[in-house]
Structure 1
């Protein structure tokens, strides 16, 4: 079977050179080149909507592609289309860029000027890898065959504002609507979603940290299948094991979940780690939960500013969720929006903790009464975010693909500032 190769090159001369060489490769089938990052992602999304088998085995990204920088584009393709192998063509073939390209999801790097032997070798290796991935995906019984699921992160302005409860209920709402949903506990030291759902588990997200090629079978071994239908990937029971989950590991794990589930909800807790930063940066929607009090709103403002300084996410790309809201409180959502510079969800969560206390204490929040105003609000929020089937077109912040066009890749800077 011929290897389908999709070149993504913005320069006309480079297009001719690359296409000419690719056409000489044995068993190669170059397809019509795309000239910018948006066209590449849209083309892959259209093909993936038909079938995973319609996707090209290899995408060749030229360093001068735009408007999204090459590394950002490679990460987006790797996250959304994990069965496609990406090769970066660059004039800088040094070890620094090579490592960065691998971190961002590339399967190979070819130096400029192009040489037939090097290009042929890389294309052959990446094509074999792609075929192997598709074989694994085809073996999975419940693989989500789409352009990649929706990823939503839930972070807290401070501890105790309701981050985990929000994440759990959003995931339950999506699952109940008929969408295959995974809930990932990325609060690595103190995450306790297992207690909210009263489950005992053996494997955690830390067990995937050292695995670079997370196949559906490997992922299935680590995931706990809850009675509600949710797929749970839990924080380690021993908090110190959370250090094993680096930002690079987090990207691989999120990509594996995105490829397999329609909705992926990630509880990032209130403390920022390298892994949490990687998840927030790659998410389609990043939520920040706060309560309408001075301490929490100040915490929200600090968090938003930190994300911006570390180039993780801009304020306008973040959505604040106001929990424990009452009409009588002095701090209302409009004021929080002005203070933080973020979007604020139209749905607020009422301050009715008494409805929750019994279910929380029993670890049965999935059995919360449907009459609960808190549950109703959180499920309405899921609809507002487009997580519930039939609401997918709801307005959401821009995806990582669009954000990548506005700034350079922050990986190395972030590692240093987070102490990774």
Structure 2
């Protein structure tokens, strides 16, 4: 049986060495190496969308892969593509790393400099394990092997621009279309999703932060099922607990949610934290909400530039929504697009404060009248983003990027220092 091998190696010299040696293994068919974690996950997701059998049996992850650190990448591949055997290539053969690699889901560890016998042994073991999993999956086991659900993050250019209202109604629109939807409040210190939906619930995203393996039962215990059918994962009631949610924890939580929901909408607020940055980076669509005034648009530009400097997301991979729009405003959507370098959504949300006031004050945002122009605009936006079954390309968007599969990395305490130092 042929063993298909996909090397993930950033350094060109190391990539040639790994590919050459892998090509000498018996019955091995190495693919061209991918240079970073984003392309690896993109490639695997594309293959998984075709069929389980299209996936390679073995992925070789080099220790210096980026931007996602190697162990985090191993964990991501193992979680999202469990039929793929992952072998970590590293110079550190110590028991601590071996244990960490196994905990992350690696099926073997090959030490540098690579030797033929050791690599052959590790690849063979990983390939046998992969074959066993595929036989099991062929027997009808329900295991997510593809990219899972769609993740949309909603961030604010500044406070008070309507981020939470937007996030809630995108989730409601997707749910009304028959999708299974999770709404996550990742505005960890001042999130208001619970207040907008009249929810009192003790558990929050902080309760999942210290759990390294989030099982379906653990996840379900942390979710509140709202009367609308939305699964809510709320921000902690005590804002200081937000510090417990690291970028690593955020990635694990969102990955677990997308594996069990067709749509995951995440309210990231307007302050960049490590958890928020990780979520924006791994999102399929990153929505940035602004209002058509000078201060907010300047803030949107600063946010986009900061995301680019920190390698969170490129400007052209971001969609900007103009909220509280009116025709007489000097700042219109095309100008916002020009200033920020992002793609602006085809729909704008009108400035109709009176439509929202009663339901916001009552904490019943989900009861907003269907005739509301705000609701109609936001639900149209959900269709534009492909959350209601409408094709994402339905709205005119020249040069709009396709599905984004960038993933988050481990950025340290608040997730920012590692990126400012480059790779």
Counterpart-to-counterpart distance in 2, 1:229 and 1:171: 10
Q: What is the Cα deviation at residue 179 of structure 1?
A: 1.8
Residue 92 (structure 2) pairs with residue 93 (structure 1): yes
CA deviation vs aligned residue, 1:248-305 (integer Å, no higher than 9, x gap): 1111111111222221111000111010011111111111101111221121122112
CA deviation vs aligned residue, 1:204-243 (integer Å, no higher than 9, x gap): 1111101111122221111111121211111111111110
1:17-416 equivalences under 5 Å are: 17-18=21-22, 32-37=29-34, 41-42=42-43, 45-47=46-48, 50=51, 58-61=58-61, 77=77, 80-81=80-81, 84-90=84-90, 92-93=91-92, 107=106, 109-115=109-115, 116=117, 120=121, 146-392=146-392, 394=394, 397-401=401-405, 411=411, 414-416=415-417
Counterpart-to-counterpart distance in 2, 1:39 and 1:235: 32
SS of residue matched to 2:320: strand
Q: What is the Cα deviation at residue 157 of structure 1?
A: 0.8
Q: Summarize the Cα distance change of 1:411–1:139 in structure 2 as closer, same or farther, 3 Å threshold.
A: farther
Q: 1:81 touches 1:259 (CA, 8 Å); kept in 2? A: no
Counterpart-to-counterpart distance in 2, 1:325 and 1:379: 16
CA deviation vs aligned residue, 1:342-394 (integer Å, no higher than 9, x gap): 11111100001111111111111112111111000001011111111132555
Counterpart-to-counterpart distance in 2, 1:216 and 1:87: 26
Q: Summarize the Cα distance change of 1:86–1:259 in structure 2 as closer, same or farther, 3 Å threshold.
A: farther
Q: 2:310 touches 2:416 (CA, 8 Å); kept in 1? A: no
Q: Summarize the Cα distance change of 1:384–1:282 in structure 2 as closer, same or farther, 3 Å threshold.
A: same
SS of residue matched to 1:253: helix
Counterpart-to-counterpart distance in 2, 1:254 and 1:126: 28
Relative to the length of structure 1, the TM-score reads 0.79
Q: What is the Cα deviation at residue 144 of structure 1?
A: 6.2
Q: 2:148 touches 2:259 (CA, 8 Å); kept in 1? A: yes
Q: 2:22 touches 2:30 (CA, 8 Å); kept in 1? A: no
Q: Summarize the Cα distance change of 1:123–1:183 in structure 2 as closer, same or farther, 3 Å threshold.
A: farther
Q: Summarize the Cα distance change of 1:43–1:242 in structure 2 as closer, same or farther, 3 Å threshold.
A: closer
CA deviation vs aligned residue, 1:110-148 (integer Å, no higher than 9, x gap): 22233545874698599879989x999x9999x767432
Q: 2:19 touches 2:33 (CA, 8 Å); kept in 1? A: no
Unaligned stretches of 5+ residues in structure 1: 24-29
SS of residue matched to 1:411: coil
Q: Summarize the Cα distance change of 1:160–1:357 in structure 2 as closer, same or farther, 3 Å threshold.
A: same
Cα root mean square deviation, aligned: 4.2
Q: What is the Cα deviation at residue 18 of structure 1?
A: 3.0
Relative to the length of structure 2, the TM-score reads 0.79
Q: May I ask how many residue pairs the two structures share in their alignment? A: 399
CA deviation vs aligned residue, 1:1-33 (integer Å, no higher than 9, x gap): x99874436857634633655x5xxxxxx7743
